[in-house]
Amino acid sequence: MGEGASTKNSNKQGYSCSVIIPCYNEAENIQKAVERVPKIGEFTEIVVVDDGSTDGTADVVNKLMENHENLKLISYSPNRGKGPAVKAGFDAASGDVLMILDADMTVQPEELGRFFAPIAEGRADFVNGTRFGSSMESQAMKRLNWYGNKAFALLFSWLLGQKVTDTLCGTKALLKKNYQNIEMKHCRWGDFDLLIGAAKLELRVLEVPVDYKKRLAGESHMRPLKHGLLFFRTFLRGVKQVKFNRIEANGRRG
């Protein structure tokens, strides 16, 4: 039985799904990403957000829309970063469950059904991908990135009050009704905003291992040292919003 069929059978809540694909200069990858998204839930919508690309990414998507009625394109300029692109896609999405799929194909689209099922079955409110619980292709992640991810995983496990092993896996899923109560404007990549939002809402977070691959084409836009500092600032903001607010709330109740 294929991934789409098994996902639909497990869709106890009758949820639809929107797959958000943020992309910046991914003309070489975007067609494969779109065409390999499986059918998930009652209806699967694909929202590509072209974040100021200069390589014709939007042209490729416009061509694909001729044969994909469930495909939607949001395109703007200049480049704003992945976080704003994810937010734009989430805001435009019509599905009950929102997912993120990176256009670089480091996580295979066929794995998306495993993110949908726990939410549809009521086992989780927020599904976070982890690249450290399954196989990772050689050279898929630089050593400095590996150490940085491990460090932030420890910090966010403390912040969330539940263990997470990977904070920056691009693939995540949550209900749109919960997303509407999450503020997304601090993290350029969006991952930390979503995790902090999940902590504030006290959502049940479940991790799903993914097989992490090298990107098919192009170069990563992540700069470990530069973006690591921005991530840490966002984390500190999360400490204030989550931990300090809980202490104050407990004090008022006491």
Which CATH number fits the domain that encloses residue 68? 3.90.550.10
Write down the pLDDT at residue 213. 77
Task: Give the pLDDT of residue 142.
Answer: 65
Task: Kindly state the DSSP code that residue 76 receives in the 8-state scheme.
Answer: E
How many other C-beta atoms can be found within 10 angstroms of the C-beta atom of residue 219?
8
pLDDT at 136: 59
> Rounded to an integer, what distance in angstroms lies between the CA atom of residue 128 and that of residue 130?
7
Six-digit token pair at 247? Answer: 């202490």
First to last CA, the chain: 54
**233 in a structural domain:** yes
Give the pLDDT of residue 192.
86
CB-CB contact of 103 with 221 (8 Å):
no
Q: Let me know if residue 187 belongs to a domain.
A: yes
Q: State the pLDDT at residue 159.
A: 83
Q: Is residue 29 part of a domain?
A: yes
144 within a domain of the structure (yes/no): yes
Would you say residue 254 lies in a domain?
Answer: no
Per-residue pLDDT at 225:
55
Structural contact between residues 16 and 40, judged by C-beta atoms closer than 8 angstroms:
no
Secondary structure of residue 44 in the 3-state scheme:
strand
Q: Residue 10 is inside which H or E element, if any? A: none
Residue 10 lies in a domain: yes
Positions of the chain with pLDDT lower than 50, given as ranges: 1-9, 247
Helix (H) or strand (E) holding 205: strand 205-209
| 249 in a structural domain | no
Domain count, the chain: 1
Q: What is the DSSP letter of 29?
A: T
What radius of gyration, in Å, describes the C-alpha atoms of the chain?
A: 18
pLDDT value, residue 58: 97
User: Rounded distance, CA 13 to CA 6, Å?
Assistant: 14
Q: What pLDDT shows up at residue 113?
A: 96
- Its domain, for residue 90, covers 3-244
In a domain, 104, yes or no: yes
Cα–Cα distance for residue pair 150/148, rounded to 1 Å: 5
pTM of the full predicted structure?
Answer: 0.79
